[in-house]
Structure 1
Amino acid sequence: MQYFPTLARQFHAPLAATAGFLSGVVLLAGVALSQPSHGISMYGDPALPPDFVSLPYADPDAPKGGTLVDGNTGGFDSLNPFIQKGTPPWQLRFLTHESLLIRNYDEPFALYGLLAESVETDPDRKWVEFTLRPEARFSDGSPVTVEDVIWSYETLGTIGNPRYLGLWQQIDSIAQTGPRSLRITFNADNRELALIAGLRPILKKAQWEGKDFSDSGLTEVPIGSAPYVVDSFTAGRNVVLKRDPDYWGNDLPVRRGTNNADTYRIEFYGDQNVLFEAFKAGELSYLREFNAENWARDYDFPAVARGDIVKTEIPSQRPSGMTGFVMNTRQPPFDDMRVRDALLSAFNFEYINETITGGRQPRISSYFSGSQLAMQPGPAEGRVAEMLAPFADSLPPEAMTGYALPAGDGSARNRRNVGHAADLLAEAGWTVQDNVLKNVQGQPFTFEILLSQGNRQDQSIIDIYLNALARLGITPVVTAVDNAQYELRVADFDFGMTSFRRQLSLSPGNEQKLYWGSAQADQPGSRNLMGLKSPAADAMIDTMLQARSSEDFIAATRALDRILTSGRYVIPLFSYDVGRIAHVRDLTWSGKVPIYGDGVYFMPETWWFDDSP
């Protein structure tokens, strides 16, 4: 997940947001499940039949073998990706552990059995029941049991990473119903929970008896059931994963043609520049590039010219999501929307885009832009207007009348927008006194911009932004810290402005509460970085989760998009609508692109080494 400094920030959001895959575009397509099935869909039957051979974008005949070398920036001080403490290699969460069900990323609303051979739920989705596969095994050869599953849900939900708390709070009971089966009953009216419950990682209970799961760091590697196991590591430098030769699920349809490399090695570098040079020198198997200008300009080194490195572009049908700089509304001056509006107006995107990407990447216009779920131009109409009307007095007027990001003139000075920003600041009580912006008490306008050290692109953007802020009499403090410090400070909301990325799906669901929900706003480690507390946003999310028609779902999502965008919480940057992967020549794939495009589920999971000439 290395979009600026690390791929984790690019793909972490959708994969961490356990339910971001459920379709809201196609709803109510049949009746809910009433008997055990090989898979489960939000509505109706899963698209793949019980006898499907493999996932649509995987090649079931892909050969196994080879060593795939990946690169991260920064370092790591933990090998447990399921707890709040420490910074683990982000890949471990996806490569070493499994869940009861698994996604099909070519189908935006369905899950299929992985550790579970079947899933069953009632028509109202008040409960869900799973039956484990008898052959399911942990990497040490011990069976995956119902006791392991129940312990995992409770442990992750109570002392695990905060991303697991939301589901646990909506579980009324979890109990064994047979030798290999368990039932989870919910306390909330939320049809998505039956699917989310199938996506929790399952850990081995016996491993942690008499040990502190929440403080394991580098001393204990959690035992999983997935194709890869941690073979060795050098603290802060690399982690080596080996494909388990006795992996229990090799013949499962959802696993055929996936996890093909024998060895998966993760190397750590000080920053993105060093990582890129390592790739050029042949130390890495592949590199994702998220800057279109870099892609066009920097990938002309000899290995590319010789054909030893191949440039591959992967299209996507996902919404844009939001990438930019988030403002922390928990602290002044960002608690004043006029200030946020001013800082957004002063941000000279057109000039920055030309400088950084050569103007090749379009700007994100809203959180769901580029999809059917995006807010529509102009005033709110129809069901969207009806849903927003009860909250109109508490929302920015533009949520109802329409909102568009301020557009600059493309020049370096951007006079009109900077002038508008000065007017907004004056309205909020900030005026220039002796070339310094101050309030009526004479206190200077200042705030901290927190960056991760390896993030060269964000640093370049901020360098340009500082010129505009200086013309307003604002001199922020820019602090760049290593990845571990960065994660700790962000978890404690210890920043004024910082980098932000939320990758959203075609089917937003419960993860929206984690991103924007009022209950998460003051919870340490929350993903609601802006500190949003909006009854209107909470109501739209609830409507999305309870929607019984596609019309209501789409309307609620468009209304939420209006609330978020018109609230001016994030200064949006570039849209990443195409995946760009540079890779060694013998690393190849099926040629079939899932509708979700690139991600850890696609590259490297379904790629393989082809040693043919």
Structure 2
Amino acid sequence: MYGSPALPPDFVSLPQVNPDAPKGGEIRLAMPGSFDTLNPFMTSGQPVQGVTPLVVETLMGRNYDEPFSLYGLLAESVETDAARSYAEFTLREQARFSDGSPVTVEDVIWSFELLGTSGNPRYHAAWKKVARTEVTGPRSLRFIFTAPDRELPLILGLRPVLKKAQWQGRDFEASGFEPLTGSGPYVIERVEPGTQISYRRNPDWWGKDLAFNRGQWNFDEIRYDYFANPQAIFEAFKAGHISSYRELNPVKWATNYDFPAVSRGDVVLSEIVHHRPSGIEGFVFNTRNPLFADWRVREALIASFHFEFISQVMNGGVQPRIASYFSNSPLGMAPGTPASGLERTLLAPFADDLIPGTLEGYALPVAKDGRAWQRNLRQAAKLLEQAGWLVDDQGVLRNAQGAPFRFEILLTTGQDELGAIAAIWVEALKALGVQAEVMVIDAAQMRERTKAYDFDVTHYIRGLSLSPGTEQKLYWHSSGVNIPGSGNWMGIDQPAADAMIAELLSAADPARFNAAVRALDRVLTAGRYVLPIWYSDRARLAHKKQLKFPAKIPLYGDWLGFQPDTWWYQEE
């Protein structure tokens, strides 16, 4: 994205792999629920895990130890101009699908157009920016963009390439269990619909000798078993049926891993620290509802949430709180500190309309003990009064028209921990005269209601990366306020947010890009759109002792590109 890639043209492997990792063995992983299709690119149904990273290949691949750089996979080269008005890819002559047929320019064009106009809509926005496609040689093609776009060559480089001939005369959207013919390191070996899938490493994989792939894709077999509930997964792991288990609760990590396999050393407990952004998770306020339109109201509701107490109850106080959308990374603003330098310069034109705290510095309310929390409640009451809400003789918070302050917290069946968190918050809100209740609905209803923004408050989570780009527009841009199904659940409508997104997308150097992201972080955080809870700054993985991973942990930690990609099987 900026400057040159970190690795030289003659690199022998990625920095976060063991280039000499042995091949062989298997890893069995678990998933909750079920699946009803092997096609992860369609809109309907529940796709199986693993097809995209294991079976289907892309033109280029990520180095997860280096944000915003891609290296050639199916493509041996990529060419673009300084303005990024086009991208030309040249395919490797040896690139093959698993059936031995070559990956052609025609396959690439057909795949990109198909995914850009049908199937899952996550690919549609980028394709709309492609004005036309030109075949420039027997193995090369050029995408000409509707306007210069610095990120679009990278986005296209990560698009999956499918085999056109497999889909001729067939409905791409039809659910089914026919394996995709891909050009990736694995092929689908066995499928038990809804319950199990097994991938076998392709010994004839065309890409096995590429420097980019050295030390990756080491297991002979990767298998996913599906279970009805998370507790069944943990019990299966304890019994030795599953190879690796990811523990999300630090309290359970400290108390539930004393079973015999751990004591014998047959199961190893590994903590993987990462440096990726925290992202945002918590309870989102729908500002389309006039009840939450005033930032003072949102701040009061956040102040009533006794984070320190709830964190201690739920996870032993181990998990750090989300301080901002990009906290835990160099892209995050410094909470409580005023904007300075280029950040301030970028935000200055919007100063009169910014929510208080954006420029001056905003930090979440802290209450290390009950007395501090009571102070927060008193401050919350003052803010509500300033916003036009007063408590009546019956202890009910009402506005000037006499309407009570009442809202619903919408959760999905199975979100038991979030339900417990919400219940504590509901009790705290009573001290302010606020009437809140938790409503639990099924997943299908939740999808429909959030798509239509038919909620007051609900659980919200957005994972963010060290290379934020076009997806930021989908999450926070004002264009999504009235469009059903956008990521802008909170209804952010701030010119400053729109401008910072445009700035980060057009920035030509890292300093300006970083400043734009930090400025956006300020706008989002000071907006008080989400009552944030905690994040994990490390993964907690319990796994069989025969499963090994490289000593060097990438910036992204345990995220994509780690397990099973760089792990291997080795007997003691």
Give the TM-score range, shorter chain.
Answer: over 0.9
Q: 1:331 aligns with which of 289, 302, 315?
A: 289
SS in 1 for 2:143: strand
2:20 aligned to 53, 58, 61, which one?
61
Instruction: Work out the CA distance in 1 between the residues paired with 2:508 and 2:295.
Output: 34
Q: Distance in 2 between matches of 1:349 and 1:171?
A: 47
- Alignment of 1:354 with 2:312, yes or no, is yes
Determine the structure 2 residue equivalent to 1:293. Answer: 251
Aligned residue in 1 for 2:564: 604
CA distance in 1, matches of 2:110, 2:286: 36
CA distance in 1, matches of 2:156, 2:531: 34
Between the aligned partners of 1:493 and 1:606, the Cα distance in structure 2 is: 40
The 3 A distance-change label for structure 1 pair 485 and 226 is farther
1:531-555 CA-partner distances (Å, limit 9, x unpaired): 3232211111111122233332222
- For residues 78-477 of structure 1, what are the structure 2 equivalents within 5 Å? 78-213=37-172, 215-218=173-176, 220-376=178-334, 377-411=336-370, 414-432=373-391, 434-477=394-437
Instruction: After TM superposition, list the pairs within 5 Å mapping 1:571-582 onto structure 2.
Output: 571-582=531-542
Q: Which consecutive unaligned segments of at least 5 residues does structure 2 have?
A: none
Which is worse superposed, 588-597 or 275-284?
275-284
2:46 and 2:407 map into 1 onto residues whose CA distance is: 26
Partner of 1:505: 465
Q: Distance in 2 between matches of 1:372 and 1:533?
A: 26
SS in 1 for 2:161: coil
Q: Does the 8 Å CA contact 1:317/1:596 hold for their aligned counterparts?
A: yes
Aligned to 1:589: 549
1:557 lines up with 2:517 in the alignment: yes
Which has the larger displacement, 419-428 or 563-572?
419-428
User: Per the alignment, do residues 328 and 69 of structure 1 end up closer, same or farther by CA in structure 2, a change over 3 Å counting?
Assistant: farther
Following superposition, the deviation at residue 483 of structure 1 comes to 4.9
Structure 1 residues 386 and 217, CA gap change in structure 2 (3 angstroms): same
Q: CA deviation at 1:294?
A: 2.5
Larger CA deviation: 306-315 vs 83-92: 83-92
Residues 76 and 484, structure 1, Cα contact 8 Å, conserved in 2: no
- State the distance in 1 between where 2:302 and 2:365 align: 8
Structure-2 separation of matches of 1:110 and 1:211: 36
Identity rate of aligned residues, in percent?
53
For the 8 Å contact 1:272–1:454, the answer to whether it is kept is no
Encode CA deviations 1:541-594: one digit per residue, 9 max, x unaligned.
111122233332222111101100001111112232222211111111121211
Tell me whether 425-434 or 87-96 shows the greater mean CA deviation.
425-434
Unaligned stretches of 5+ residues in structure 1: 1-41
Counterparts of 1:256 and 1:346 in 2: how far apart (Å)? 52
Cα 1:439–1:271 change in 2 (3 A) is: farther
Q: 1:325 to 1:198 in 2, by over 3 A?
A: same
1:442-488: CA deviations, max 9, x gaps? 54444343334344432332232222134334444434455555455
**Superimposed CA distance per residue, residues 65-103 of structure 1 (whole angstroms, 9 cap, x where no aligned partner):** 233221222333333222333332353332222210001
Judge which range, 395-404 or 560-569, deviates more. Answer: 395-404
State the one-letter code of the partner of 1:265: R
Given that 1:430 and 1:437 are in contact with CA atoms closer than 8 Å, whether structure 2 keeps it comes out as yes
- CA 278–437 in structure 1, closer or farther in 2 if over 3 Å, else same: farther
Q: Distance in 2 between matches of 1:397 and 1:109?
A: 33
**Cα distance between partner residues in 2 of 1:547 and 1:508:** 12
Match of 1:16 in 2: none
Say which of 47, 50, 59 aligns to 2:9.
50
Q: Provide Cα deviations, 1:236-291, integer angstroms capped at 9, x if missing partner.
A: 33333333343222222222222222222222233333322332222221112233
User: Residue in 2 aligned with 1:29?
Assistant: none
Cα deviation for residue 335 of structure 1 reads 3.4
Deviation, structure 1 residue 378: 2.6
Q: Is the 8 A contact 1:86 1:484 kept in 2?
A: no
Distance in 2 between the 1:169 and 1:124 partners?
Answer: 18
Structure 1 letter corresponding to 2:99: D
Q: Check whether the contact 1:364–1:574 (CA below 8 A) recurs between aligned residues.
A: yes
Aligned length in residues: 570
Partner residue of 2:487? Answer: 527
1:195 positional shift: 1.7
Aligned AA (2:8): P
Between 349-358 and 501-510, the greater mean CA deviation after superposition: 501-510
With normalisation by structure 2, the TM-score equals 0.92
Contact 2:237 2:245 in 1 (8 A): yes
CA distance in 1, matches of 2:219, 2:451: 34
Tell me the distance in 1 between the aligned counterparts of 2:212 and 2:235: 36
Please show how residues 16-31 of structure 1 align to structure 2 within 5 Å.
none
Q: Quote the Cα distance in structure 2 between the aligned partners of 1:607 and 1:277.
A: 23
CA distance in structure 2 between the aligned counterparts of 1:584 and 1:290, rounded to whole angstroms = 18
